[in-house]
Amino acid sequence: MDSEPPWLDDEEQQVWLQLSLLLTRLPTALERQLQRDAGLSLYEYLLLSGLSMTPTRRLRLRDLAEFTGTSLSRLSNVIRKLEGHGWVIREPDPQDGRSTFAVLTEAGYAKVVASAPGHVREVRKLVFDPLSTAQLRRFGSTIRRVLDVIDPHGCDPEALLRAEDIEQVSSR
């Protein structure tokens, strides 16, 4: 039989409940704005914007799945939907026959550009405006510490998206 778990004290319980609410309500609020103003899910927007931030507007599907924190099968289903809108195409990797790139089309880039202002306003209103500069720094540091525990070998989104050499990123 397992030993008794280290139960949360009252303060930890309160923080955990607040975090649980944040984890469910923030994505819902962001999704609501994106659906209303851009006809996109939050996941679709993150995928399109991630591609738009790369130097070549392309990523291998496995790297895009890592960036968006999802499975290749879910990613593939969403890519298929985005292809239907003409926002993304798939291209085989000429260097590696087993890999495929997701490539943001000009129409996809235009969709991101049109959708970004409303999304940024909502993110600012919900996340950044309520925090002082000091609170924001502590919040960012705290998030990083928790992410490092969840995924110690984790995805570094800035390195992934800003890499000058896509081959270098994909061969990590």
Q: How far apart are CA 48 and CA 103, in angstroms?
A: 9
Angle, helix 42-52 to helix 61-68, in steps of 10 degrees: 120
What does the pLDDT profile of the chain (172 residues) look like in tens digits?
578 999 999 999 999 999 999 999 999 999 999 999 999 999 999 999 999 999 999 999 998 998 888 999 999 999 999 999 999 999 998 888 889 999 999 999 999 999 999 999 999 999 999 999 999 999 999 999 998 898 887 666 666 665 533 443 444 3
Which CATH number applies to 30-170? 1.10.10.10
Tokens 């925090």 -> residue? 131
In this structure, how many other beta carbons lie within 10 angstroms of the beta carbon of residue 116? 15
Domain residue spans of the chain: 30-170
User: What pTM does this model have?
Assistant: 0.84
